[in-house]
């Protein structure tokens, strides 16, 4: 799911996102001076609506960007009434409050909502077309059905590594081709997590669930995160801290079809899954029996 996919779905099916708005598409990537607005609609009252789309968390920079578009459009048409809407997967409450007090509407578009609308209209995500695959996306050439350096059928330990998307922009990090290898903080089970273990990347929050599968490619040791990861840290306090971490390699990206928490909670045999019972923390063990169930769910994603 690229940012362009979210933009396309909003542009093609505005009533799904903005019911009873009467939005009619003026254009996508509309040139305003030296800038390009993601989407411009005209509503039923004749007002222009500028919609800016961000995958992952809504950043501070997005507000300045859309305000610039407002000024440029008003320069072109001074008498035109212009409204502004910022869309993102995650919008921090304090950011929403500030923006809406300044007259900028904020629309949080959860991953599940986007996936459901895409499915309803049989929309194929651009990254799927590019990869020539049906739903499966990988950051590497590793095929989940075969063995990588870690055999998924072997007796390796399996762990859930949890990311808080309000602290680290994991949705965008999972799509970064420079981040096939990432680092992950190890706060629990420091003596048990080992190289060649399997890691399930869990995103916390409203749409919690498994968003990727990785292999652990180093033992835990004190290290800083990789320079390529810096731009995804939302929490400034975490930047440049040396902590006990492991390196992981993403081998299957499930962002176009996450295995959500609500689904896992309904499956017999997963009642005791540690992250469902006690979600506070960063690292969680997965038993062999639990892994056998989850492994089949992952292998069966749209196959």
Q: What is the DSSP string of 94-118?
A: HHHHHHHHTTEEEEE--HHHHHHHH
**Are the C-beta atoms of 28 and 69 separated by less than 8 Å?**
no
Q: Which of 119-123, 235-239, 283-287 has the lowest mean pLDDT?
A: 235-239
* CA-based max dimension of the chain: 68
Q: Pick the closest to residue 126 from 4, 38, 43, 271 (CA basis).
A: 4
**Are the C-beta atoms of 258 and 294 separated by less than 8 Å?**
no
Percent of the chain with pLDDT strictly greater than 90: 64
pLDDT value of position 190? 92
Residue 155, pLDDT above cutoff 80: no
pLDDT value of position 87? 95
Residue 215, pLDDT above cutoff 60: yes
Domain with CATH 3.10.590.10 in the chain: 135-299
Residue 75, pLDDT above cutoff 50: yes
pLDDT confidence tier of residue 133, bands split at 50, 70 and 90? very low
Contacts of 220 (CB under 8 A, 6+ apart): 186, 190, 193, 244, 245, 246
- pLDDT, mean over the chain: 87
Tens digit of pLDDT for each residue in 1-54? 899 999 999 999 999 999 999 999 999 999 988 889 999 999 999 999 999 999
Residue 302, pLDDT above cutoff 60: no
pLDDT value of position 105? 94
pLDDT value of position 264? 96
Helix (H, G, I), strand (E, B) or coil at 8: helix
Fold classification of 135-299 is ph1033 like fold (3.10.590)
The whole-number average pLDDT for the span 80-87 is 94
CA distance 223 to 242: 5
Tell me: domain 3-120, CATH 3.40.50.170, correct? no
List the structure tokens of 22. Answer: 């009467």
Start-to-end Cα distance in the chain: 18
Tens digit of pLDDT for each residue in 239-274? 667 889 999 999 899 989 999 999 999 999 999 999
Domain with CATH 3.40.1350.10 in the chain: 3-120
CA distance 38 to 53: 7
């Amino acid at each position: 799911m690229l940012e362009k996919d979210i933009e396309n779905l909003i542009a093609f099916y505005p009533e799904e996102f903005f019911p009873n708005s009467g939005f009619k598409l003026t254009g996508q990537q509309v040139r305003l001076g030296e800038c390009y607005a993601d989407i411009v609609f005209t509503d039923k009252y004749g007002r222009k609506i500028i919609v800016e789309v961000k995958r992952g968390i809504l950043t501070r920079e997005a507000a300045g960007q859309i305000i610039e578009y407002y000024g440029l459009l008003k320069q072109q048409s001074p008498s035109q009434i212009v409204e502004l809407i910022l869309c993102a997967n995650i919008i921090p409450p304090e950011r929403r409050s500030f923006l809406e007090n300044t007259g900028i509407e904020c629309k949080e578009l959860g991953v599940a909502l986007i996936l459901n609308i895409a499915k309803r209209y049989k929309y194929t995500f651009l990254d799927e077309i590019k990869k020539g695959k049906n739903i499966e996306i990988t950051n590497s050439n590793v095929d989940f059905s075969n063995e990588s350096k870690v055999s998924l059928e072997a007796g390796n330990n399996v762990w859930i590594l949890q990311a808080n998307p309000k602290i680290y922009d994991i949705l965008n990090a999972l799509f970064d081709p420079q981040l096939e290898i990432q680092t992950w903080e190890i706060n629990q089970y420091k003596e048990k997590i080992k190289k060649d273990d399997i890691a399930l990347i869990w995103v916390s929050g409203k749409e919690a669930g498994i968003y990727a599968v990785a292999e652990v490619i180093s033992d835990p040791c004190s290290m800083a995160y990789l320079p390529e990861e810096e731009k995804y840290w939302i929490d400034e306090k975490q930047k440049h801290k040396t902590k006990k971490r492991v390196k992981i390699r993403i081998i299957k990206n499930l962002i176009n079809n996450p295995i959500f928490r609500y689904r896992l909670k309904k499956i017999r045999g997963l009642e005791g899954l540690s992250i469902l019972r006690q979600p506070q923390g960063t690292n969680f063990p997965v038993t062999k029996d639990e892994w056998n169930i989850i492994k089949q769910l992952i292998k069966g994603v749209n196959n």
